[in-house]
Amino acid sequence: MKKLLLSFITVALVSSAGAQITITASDMPVAGDTLRYSYALAIDAGTAITATGPNITWNFDTLTPIAQAVDAYKHALQVSPAYAIISLSAYGYKIADSLPGASTLPLSISELYNFFNKKTNPSRFVAEAFAAKVAGTPVPVNYSDEDEIYFFPLDYGDEDSSTYRLSHSFASIGSFVQEGNRKTTVDAHGTITTPHFTTPQNCIRVRSVLNEVDTFTFGTTVTPISRTQIDYKWLVQGEHYPALWITTSVVGGGQEVINAIRFRDNYRTSLGVADVASSFTELSAYPNPATTDVVTLNIPANWKQYSVEVFDAAGRLSFTTHNSAQVNVSGLASGQYIVRVVSGDRIGYVRMVK
């Protein structure tokens, strides 16, 4: 009997070492979760991003954490009774205490939240609403077309597509509409090691491609700006946050540039907690109008990797730079421009005049 039991345990251990896992709704965040993660310095994306297929070994134990953040999930009704109109079952976390650069606005914008939900028929995890206090009044903004982040169950080889739409207003530059489509593929499985998961964990790797159009309306000018963002998430059963999450943006020639790297982590006394800025952040620039060849962008300090894109009033890309708040505008013709800064899933905008 002991020999039989030992054989059974051995087979179970060997099988689990390379097991293909399935991610379900039970592996998503829930109200009451306090999920801590660290931001890491950029790494060579080669194997991390391009490796696909079965039984891949990912070793990220040399990632260097540079800042931490915590997502504390609450029911919308717990945050404000006014948010009950979103959904009684919706829950989310504060993404910023205040809107960076909001001191220049005629209205205060504070306590910004993203709210999510688990839906059935089919089973899925969706972004349902955005909310903030505007001049002290709670203002919820529902997605008119929810962003379906995952459909369940998630297994290796699965593919899904969906659309989403959200509109929002900025006090100083007018209205903003974000709409696009998301294509999600479970393109790999294997094991992952990180500074938090020091022993290999069975995981699947989910690749989500977001093709999006952000449309600004200021005065009578309508400016549509397209972008492509790709999220790579390594998901582990029982964890409500990705073991690793790499976000890239696609630039000229289809090249992917890493904007942010974060991983599930424990508390580190040497790191401060980052103030994670809103997904829709109004930035500032100076001098603006530009009276010199170089304009400086006011970018949140915790945005360590980011791309800077300058678009003309027709939405045409004028040029792109990376990881520099100093923008040389000497080659631009006189006129109005939109500057977009992308750092992971955070997007900052500023209207610039030359």
Q: What confidence tens digit (pLDDT) does each residue in 142-152 have?
A: 999 999 999 99
Q: What are the tens digits of pLDDT across the range 84-108? A: 889 989 999 998 777 654 554 556 7
Question: Is 52 part of any domain?
Answer: yes
How much is the mean pLDDT over the chain? 83
Question: Is 117 part of any domain?
Answer: yes
- Whether 17 has a pLDDT exceeding 70, the answer reads no
pLDDT for 14 equals: 36
Give the chain's domain count: 1
The sheet carrying 346-353 orders its strands as: 280-282, 346-353, 336-343, 307-312, 317-322
pLDDT for 10 equals: 35
State how far the Cα of 279 lies from the Cα of 282, in Å rounded to an integer.
10
pLDDT for 9 equals: 34
State how far the Cα of 305 lies from the Cα of 279, in Å rounded to an integer.
15
Q: Which two tokens stand for residue 328?
A: 């040389």
Segments forming the whole domain that contains residue 50: 18-275
Are 205 and 187 within 8 A, CB to CB?
yes
Number of residues assigned to the chain: 354
pLDDT for 59 equals: 92
> For residue 27, is it left (φ>0), alpha (ψ between -120 and 50) or beta?
alpha
pLDDT for 117 equals: 97
Q: What is the pTM of this model?
A: 0.74
Question: Is 183 part of any domain?
Answer: yes
- Whether 19 has a pLDDT exceeding 50, the answer reads yes
Question: Is 312 part of any domain?
Answer: no
pLDDT for 65 equals: 83
pLDDT for 93 equals: 93
Instruction: Name the DSSP letter for residue 271.
Output: S
Please state whether the peptide bond connecting residue 289 to the residue before it is cis, i.e. omega within 30 degrees of 0. yes
Helix, strand and coil content of the chain, in percent to the nearest 5, comes to: 10, 55, 35
Percent of the chain topping pLDDT 90:
43
Question: Is 6 part of any domain?
Answer: no
Question: Is 331 part of any domain?
Answer: no
Question: Is 56 part of any domain?
Answer: yes
Q: What are the tens digits of pLDDT across the range 238-248? A: 999 999 999 88
Question: Is 32 part of any domain?
Answer: yes
